Structure 1
Amino acid sequence: MKNLKIKLLFALCAILLFSAFITEKKDVITIFMIGDSTMANKSLKNGNLERGWGQMLPCFLTEDVAVDNHAMNGRSSLSFINEGRWDAVLAKLKKGDYVFIQFGHNDEKASEKLHTDPGTTFDDNLRRFVRETREKGAYPVLFNSIVRRNFPPEGVTEPKGSYEVEGNVLVDTHGEYLNSPRRVAEEMDVPFVDLNKLTHDLVVDLGVEKSKSLFMWVPAGIYDFCPKGKIDNTHLNIYGGKVVAGIAMEAVAKVVPALAPYVRQHDLEVHAAD
């Protein structure tokens, strides 16, 4: 009888321990990211310095949140759908997850495989992402495109990749493509982050010279990944990726309060990069 009581006691303890483990275990929230090269993961080969802001986002989240970054270089909302990349996200998406949506850079291009129009096809694709995310019990968040560092000389109206002599005024290159995410967000009651304004203000605050520290301004003859050097005012470097990811996640915490407890704060001194 005594042995039976001991066995029952051990069994009860085991049940209590198992129950406690089950109670404490939490499902990890996954943030799926869909977008273009400014958000995408970049190769680290040969010391590559380029980073998408989505690649740096885990730095600003606790271990309770996973980031599954499906953003891809050169993709528009149209090609992301037509290549089956959106279907791949939907297959993994579960209730309670989030989808961060940022397109526009490549939707602007003339290619039939990429081009959409703000107000019609671009908006329709954004609506589809929102609708199908919600059908899976997940939560969409819309972003507009990050700013392109474009300081044309006075009188130049067509944006270029770079200028021999730069002007003093940051000029927008995205036009109406910035308004579609905001419009769809208002229409469908979706959290929206004006990442273009945030990055525009960041670049203006830094000024013409210091803002180069965010982007892929690579000197020649130093790095194996780019021995000839480059001037790229669209894509972010490691530092720029971290800064943009930080301000993006800070903004998300305001429009999606449920994610605020998972935001990890970092003190990034933006003005220190001379």
Structure 2
Amino acid sequence: MRRLITSLVAATVLAGGAQATERARTDAPPLEPYKIILVGDSTMAPHSGWGGAFCAKHVKSSVACLNAGRGGRSTRSYRQEGSWAIALAEAKVAGYRGTFVLIQFGHNDQSSKAERWTDETTEFPANLKRFVAEVRAAGATPVLLTPLTRREFRDGKLQNTLESWSDQVRAVAKAEGVPLVDLNALSAAQTQQMGAETATQLAQEPPTAEELAAAKAGTTLKARPAPPPPPRVEGKGPRGQVTRKFDYTHLGDVGAEVVAKLVTQALAQAVPDLRSQLVR
């Protein structure tokens, strides 16, 4: 009986091996991936803007999503420091069915800092047009975004300090035939609907009792200065740190997701070729 069982087991193993050898085998079809490159300032950048949530939650795995947003940059400083050259090199990489470069500036072009500011009606639109031309020359598709609204209120009304800068972006998009995501208009309407008090929930850190009371009354306080950087981290682990603060410009985790959803919906309308790659 033992010999019979052993023989049956051996026969079964041999039969299974034969089936494995004869099993059909094909090669996977070539991948046709897409690439989205985010170019902009802190309202797009990792840890302070909507770009991280967008790349993490709103594109499929067939999309290579690169967030090249950097805090404190304008259309002028982003180019001068070399960030634009890096983004453009990424746009030239072959192997993608389509590469799209989303460009959003305005906050720091409006700044008074020497290395950032640009003239609103001449230099700013000229810089955007140059970005557009260079993206197209690289074989990619440019998409312009108007700047995210600040969440400053006076007597219950949103103070959209970037509205005229957004007009410049809209004009360039129309003149150059570029897809437009009108994030300023969308975020301004959404923020006004929220009201000053609820809009404080979009910030990186909670407001103080005084800031919350002012928002509840309908007029936000002046943004506090950024806190000092934390002490340096020693040791063999990761050392990078992010300084989070409460203000009316930057986005925390909740704010990033809220705005990323706005961008995703508007991008699907502006760029139909990306609809199959975007996730609500």
TM-score, normalised by the number of residues in structure 2: 0.74
Mapped partners of 2:178, 2:205: distance in 1 = 35
Mapped partners of 1:230, 1:127: distance in 2 = 33
- Contact 1:30 1:67 survives alignment (8 Å): yes
Cα distance change of structure 1 residues 208 and 219 upon mapping to structure 2, 3 Å threshold: closer
The share of aligned pairs that are identical, in percent, is 37
Instruction: State the secondary structure of the residue aligned to 2:106.
Output: coil
Equivalent AA in structure 2 for residue 210 of structure 1: T
Question: Who wins on radius of gyration, i.e. which is larger?
Answer: 2
Q: Which residue is 1:38 aligned to?
A: 43
Where do 4+ consecutive residues of structure 1 move more than 4 Å? none
Instruction: State the secondary structure of the residue aligned to 1:26.
Output: coil
Using the TM superposition, give the Cα deviation of residue 27 of structure 1 relative to its aligned residue in structure 2, in angstroms: 3.2
Q: Which residue is 2:159 aligned to?
A: 171
Instruction: State the secondary structure of the residue aligned to 1:177.
Output: helix
- Contact 2:41 2:71 survives alignment (8 Å): yes
1:210 aligns with 2:210: no
1:257 aligns with 2:272: yes
Instruction: State the secondary structure of the residue aligned to 1:211.
Output: helix
Q: What is the CA deviation profile of residues 174-209 of structure 1, one whole-angstrom value per residue up to 9, with x for unaligned ones? A: 242111111110000000011011111111111121
Equivalent AA in structure 2 for residue 56 of structure 1: A
Q: What is the CA deviation profile of residues 108-139 of structure 1, one whole-angstrom value per residue up to 9, with x for unaligned ones? A: 01223111122211011101111010011100
Q: What is the CA deviation profile of residues 32-73 of structure 1, one whole-angstrom value per residue up to 9, with x for unaligned ones? A: 11100000012xxxxxxxx41011112011111121111100
Give unpaired runs (5+ residues) of structure 2: 1-20, 209-228, 231-243
- Contact 2:200 2:207 survives alignment (8 Å): no
- Contact 2:45 2:67 survives alignment (8 Å): yes
Instruction: State the secondary structure of the residue aligned to 1:30.
Output: strand
Mapped partners of 2:205, 2:260: distance in 1 = 19
- Contact 2:60 2:279 survives alignment (8 Å): yes
After TM superposition, the structure 1 = structure 2 runs for residues 234-253 of structure 1, keeping only pairs within 5 Å, are 234-253=249-268
Q: Which residue is 2:72 aligned to?
A: 74
Q: What is the CA deviation profile of residues 8-44 of structure 1, one whole-angstrom value per residue up to 9, with x for unaligned ones? A: xx9xx87xx34xx2xx2223211111100000012xx
- Contact 2:204 2:253 survives alignment (8 Å): no
Equivalent AA in structure 2 for residue 238 of structure 1: D
Using the TM superposition, give the Cα deviation of residue 84 of structure 1 relative to its aligned residue in structure 2, in angstroms: 0.8
Q: Which residue is 2:237 aligned to?
A: none
1:199 aligns with 2:176: no
Q: Which residue is 1:119 aligned to?
A: 121
Q: Which residue is 2:132 aligned to?
A: 130
Q: Which residue is 2:62 aligned to?
A: 64
Using the TM superposition, give the Cα deviation of residue 100 of structure 1 relative to its aligned residue in structure 2, in angstroms: 0.3
Q: Which residue is 2:52 aligned to?
A: 55
Using the TM superposition, give the Cα deviation of residue 219 of structure 1 relative to its aligned residue in structure 2, in angstroms: 5.1
- Contact 1:217 1:233 survives alignment (8 Å): no
Mapped partners of 2:164, 2:189: distance in 1 = 18
Mapped partners of 2:150, 2:109: distance in 1 = 15
The number of residues matched between the two structures is 221
Within the candidate set 175, 178, 184, 2:172 is matched to 184
Mapped partners of 1:127, 1:52: distance in 2 = 24
Mapped partners of 2:115, 2:131: distance in 1 = 18
Q: What is the CA deviation profile of residues 79-113 of structure 1, one whole-angstrom value per residue up to 9, with x for unaligned ones? A: 00000111111112136211000000000012231
Mapped partners of 1:231, 1:110: distance in 2 = 21
1:26 aligns with 2:41: no
- Contact 1:33 1:70 survives alignment (8 Å): yes
Equivalent AA in structure 2 for residue 188 of structure 1: E
Using the TM superposition, give the Cα deviation of residue 232 of structure 1 relative to its aligned residue in structure 2, in angstroms: 0.5
Mapped partners of 2:89, 2:181: distance in 1 = 26
Mapped partners of 2:41, 2:104: distance in 1 = 7
